[in-house]
Structure 1
């Protein structure tokens, strides 16, 4: 037999209170805040006769149980028909800054806390937070057909609410947005913090030092030796993928780059990125992350870097191929033709013909066939390129070599 789950006690809701019907009563023992509540009703009313009938309804006990939540008071009010009407009063709640000011003001004065615990509401505390309704703050609503403002049922509910306020000012605080236990807990925390500050002992007097002693020459101890440089850069942490937050892959890229740059500075004293232009640094980033393959992440990285440098993704991909071929020198060979002096460049064509590769045409620092090209760099190395026939769409291939035949062989091997 399956055991039955235990019955849990209903959860107390500090921001919803239901008060039983107050019953018939010929008069009320008014408090100053209850009277202020009634005055707000009377300033709202357009018809004094309806107010008088509402007061009579309240005295006769026509108002059922009253439910109070932040900004709203509801009850069923019996009228001339058998079925009662659902009546409601709406009141603006206080914003959080106004509540903070109210709580700070109450906590500063122990008499205020004592008054609230004694079900009393000090004048200055209520005025500080504007707890009591002003003209236009109360908005009545009723299911009856009477279009009075307010109708007699809403007026009766308002008069009975004044009786609740007379007995407990925390009803007014609940109407404005905070429950009794919530307010008392906040006051307790503030009072405890204030008392803790008051108990802090005074700071001791600082010892004095003679000026002669302070200005006397002295030998400073040597600095401790620096920490050893780690053998390799550290790895960044795993960044969470939070909705609306930064892209974790971008954060990982930035953290990895920062670690590599810092490690190079520590080990060599040189900043590897400082001499680079924005375009060269973008090519370096794209060539290093990721190392190979055209995944969706690679395409997104290429697109972002190309847009930031006003280039196309194809331009960036070609530059990345050059960077992987030989770094910044290979990128310069890709982008900048030049006129080499007489010497190694002039000896390249005969060497190629002797190795069985005739037909290369010279143009500045380049030797070309319809599909193969060798470019001579300022660093004295030859860089291989390849294109489809009649396309003139040259892409770096192979590894650079000081010998043109070696560079061509590396390209063919690639």
Structure 2
């Protein structure tokens, strides 16, 4: 039977499954510092200063820096309180070199972890491989003069020898890349530190969640039900006389068509003005086709330029109509609005009365002979259409082509409508 082995002491730290307290870094590529400094971060330079401030021979430091920048330092192993590597010198066999420094005690680590957990920006900085000055100062994290103790198997008894100096310079580069290497030198591995910070955060959140909420403010019941009159609203500003014009939209290959933007802006301004002045939406009851015709008719010069012809084409295609259909409908809309469009598209049978009296009136005025069909009176090139609104609408076509286009101004008198058509 195997002898009994006592369990770990209460409070003793368990060894993690992987060795978080030993890290080996492959040989660093030769590199030089910038701006005369070997390290790039403030903590890396503080490490270098701790070495250089206690060096007894500047010449050995210079040779050590040269060794560091020319690849003489092999892989570096970092454990708590120790940095070790083989450094090549002038002899074929490299020297075993190490730098020792004091590890932090448990009380120091508690202060460090408390300081880090107290400020979320400190934790964020650590995760971003940064070391805030205030956090480093909480426990004297960085070495000072005399804290770095070099040791080397070479016969040189300088303090430090050039091999130890080279290792120290290369260690500064490791600190630049990952400040958790410094924490490992001081006694704790990265995963161990992050786990401790996570535990502190969880405990802090649990304490906050369990805290009693602050009491709700109260007021006497009489005050709560007392009505407080609201201040009167200022009177609305008067409506403008007419809607404003939209700005000019520059042409850009990656932007929407400026003509379409201008039409939409003009339309929005006109509708808003009508709603403001009348309280009614002038287009709410329109069909999609009527609205498309209205939009095209509202734009001056529609269909006369390349851009507006493209607009006609797109609007017509969206409603399964031809550009010619849209152009004719626009002319009817400009002639009489929705009623004019209905006259264009909807033949109907008017009751006896004004329509029957129209032909004798035209003959009496010595105007051309017209033949009737439903609500229309037609000659070879002229036509009058009687609308449901009681107005006569003039149309014109090439002789015998039956290609009727709205012309002139609607009139309740057929003679007046035809006279305007002949004069236009």
Q: Which band: TM-score by shorter chain?
A: 0.5 to 0.7
Aligned residue in 2 for 1:143: none
Distance in 2 between residues matched to 1:104 and 1:397, nearest whole Å: 81
Among 381, 388, 391, which residue is 1:381 paired with?
391
Q: Which stretches in structure 1 are left out of the alignment for 5+ residues?
A: 1-10, 33-37, 39-54, 61-100, 121-161, 174-203
SS in 1 for 2:409: coil
| Structure 2 unpaired stretches of 5+ | 1-33, 41-64, 80-84, 93-122, 144-166, 179-213
Equivalent residue runs for 1:381-400 within 5 Å: 381-400=391-410
Q: How far off its partner does 1:210 sit?
A: 2.3
Q: Look up the SS of the partner of 1:397 in the other structure.
A: strand
Counterpart-to-counterpart distance in 2, 1:360 and 1:24? 108
Cα distance in 2 for residues equivalent to 1:119 and 1:243: 58
| CA deviation map 1:159-218 (0-9, x unaligned) | xxx998633137647xxxxxxxxxxxxxxxxxxxxxxxxxxxxxx999753232121244
Match of 2:69 in 1: 22
Alpha-carbon displacement from aligned partner over 1:378-410 (angstroms, at most 9, x marks no partner): 111111111123322111111111111111111
Distance 2:307 2:220 in 1: 67
- Partners in 2 of 1:227 and 1:107 — Cα distance? 59
Query: Which of residues 164, 168, 171 is equivalent to 1:166?
Result: 171
Between structure 1 and structure 2, the one with the greater Rg is 2
Q: Distance between the aligned counterparts of 1:319 and 1:103, measured in 2?
A: 69
> Where does residue 297 of structure 1 map in the other structure?
307
Corresponding residue number in structure 2 for 1:272: 282
Q: CA deviation at 1:310?
A: 1.4
Does structure 1 retain, via aligned residues, the 8 Å contact 2:385–2:394? yes
Q: Give the structure 2 partner of residue 322 of structure 1.
A: 332
Distance, in Å, in 1 between the alignment partners of 2:330 and 2:241 is 28
Name the CA shift for 1:27/1:391 in 2 (closer, same or farther; >3 Å). Answer: closer
SS at match of 2:69: coil
Residue 22 of structure 1, CA deviation: 2.7
How far, CA to CA, are the matches of 1:275 and 1:268 in structure 2? 16
SS of the residue corresponding to residue 398 of structure 1 reads strand
Q: 1:285 aligns with which of 287, 295, 298?
A: 295
Quick one: structure 1 residues 104 and 335, their matched pair in 2 at CA, closer, same or farther if it must change by over 3 Å?
farther
Q: What's the CA shift for 1:263? A: 0.8
Q: Alpha carbon RMSD of aligned pairs, Å?
A: 4.2
2:381 aligned residue: 371
Secondary structure at the counterpart of residue 395 of structure 2: strand
Deviations 1:207-236 (A, max 9, x none): 753232121244444332122222222333
Show the counterpart of 1:105: 127
Cα offsets for 1:86-118 (capped at 9, x unmatched): xxxxxxxxxxxxxxx975734898489749xx8
Compared CA separation, residues 384 and 119, structure 1 to 2 (3 A): farther
**When the two structures are superposed, what TM-score results if normalisation uses the length of structure 1?**
0.55
The answer to whether the Cα contact below 8 Å between 1:165 and 1:171 also exists between their aligned partners in 2 is no
Residue in 2 that maps onto 1:262: 272
Q: Distance in 2 between matches of 1:209 and 1:369?
A: 87
Distance 1:26 1:268, change over 3 A: closer
Indicate whether 1:225 and 2:266 are aligned. Answer: no
Q: How does 1:174-193 map onto structure 2 within 5 Å?
A: none
Total equivalences in the alignment: 271
Question: TM-score w.r.t. structure 2 length?
Answer: 0.54
After TM superposition, give the deviation of residue 268 of structure 1 in Å.
1.0
| TM-fit CA distance, 1:294 | 0.5
1:382, 1:401 within 8 Å by CA — same for their partners in 2? yes
Report the CA distance between 1:244 and its aligned residue: 2.0
1:252 corresponds in structure 2 to 262
How far has the Cα of 1:301 moved from its partner? 1.4
**1:240 CA drift (Å):** 4.2
Match of 2:225 in 1: 215
Please give the alpha-carbon distance, in whole angstroms, between the structure 1 residues aligned to 2:409 and 2:399: 22
Question: Does residue 360 in structure 1 map to residue 370 in structure 2?
Answer: yes
